[in-house]
Amino acid sequence: MAAVDAMEIRNLTARCAEAQPRHDWTRAEIAALFALPFSDLTWLAQQVHRRHFDPNQVQMSTLLSIKTGGCPEDCGYCSQSAHFETGLKATKLMDVQATLAAAQAAKAQGASRFCMGAAWRNPKAHDLDKVCDMIAEVKALGMETCATLGMLTGEQAQQLRAAGLDYYNHNLDTSPEHYAEVITTRSYQDRLDTLEHVRGAGMKVCCGGIVGMGEAATDRVGLLHSLATLPAHPESVPVNMLMQVEGTRLGQSAPLDGIDFVRMIAVARIVMPQSMVRLSAGRETMSDELQALCFLAGANSIFLGDRLLTTKNPGQDRDTALIAKLGIVPMPYVTVEEDSAEAAE
């Protein structure tokens, strides 16, 4: 990408300082952010981050695979796709009590948010009833709830919301232009339709993507443009580094440069200033120094635990040491009732 001159840096800084989040970002503006000198970009991201969040607080979440493998989708990065031979054995949907026990353990380790993922194209009615029971039980623990279950109809989204689900995760994964190189069994519009159903049901949206899938720099611009120009920014934006899984179509992808990944975090923070930017998959292979740069660039959420669905994640001991080293403290969980009370004041 072309370098940005001093005048353009000043103009970008002025636009990023606007009080309200913008939904009219152009691809050219986002590309210009990516092209900033690294110190200017991280400085700008830090200003935006500090305007909306405590820079030393990080939300702690846990992600559990409640139904693993056998998915009919052909997502090129996923070990759970039935299209690939990865050695992963498919499982049935977990029972409610086992899920509740996992949530209790996560809360004891410091997680305030519990996410449940199932390898489905879309949930069937009897499975969704059981997931709703899980959601109600986890919610009763005083934890924030999130689920990722594939595509949803409007009626299914309403059912999940009635059970107490706070967030629904459904990633766009990449830019519209690169999407067909990653997935062919559902369209970009299918994903956007599910996001619309989630919003229509009154739930919060968790939506981000994966980098390091052989995409061009313009595709990283395109992904953030798609997210930042939604009618409402996702409240949670997971940024994943591809975990190369042997047997998948993208299993031999070249690793993304760490500085390029930090740039992705920083630009996400700038264009979606009030969103939780989650440092998600890929932390297992990141040094403490690279993770520290991500937090400096505006990441303020991570997953705890040694697994993310089916891929490795840093263990509790490593995360505890990193958090202590950086002076990070867990972000307190604010309930919907507390949030509403603050807004009324």
Distance (Å, whole) CA 222 – CA 7: 24
Distance (Å, whole) CA 228 – CA 230: 6
Cβ-Cβ contacts under 8 Å for 72 (sequence gap 6 or more): 82, 121, 185
Cβ-Cβ contacts under 8 Å for 325 (sequence gap 6 or more): 288
Closest CA to 182 of 238, 253, 236: 253
In 125-175, DSSP assigns E strands to: 144-148, 167-169
| DSSP letters for 274-334 | TSEEEE-TTGGG--HHHHHHHHHTT--EEEESSEETTEE---HHHHHHHHHHHT-EEPPPP
Cα 196 versus chain centre, distance: 17
Kindly list the catalytic residues. Answer: 71, 75, 78, 115, 146, 206, 278
Across-strand partners of 63? 115
Return the structure tokens found at 114: 């519990």
Which 3 state secondary structure label does DSSP give 152?
A: coil
Q: For 281, left (φ over 0), alpha (ψ -120 to 50), or beta?
A: beta
Q: Counting every residue, how long is the chain?
A: 345
Distance (Å, whole) CA 205 – CA 194: 10
Distance (Å, whole) CA 106 – CA 99: 11
Q: Are 141 and 103 a contacting pair, CB within 8 Å?
A: yes
Across-strand partners of 49? none
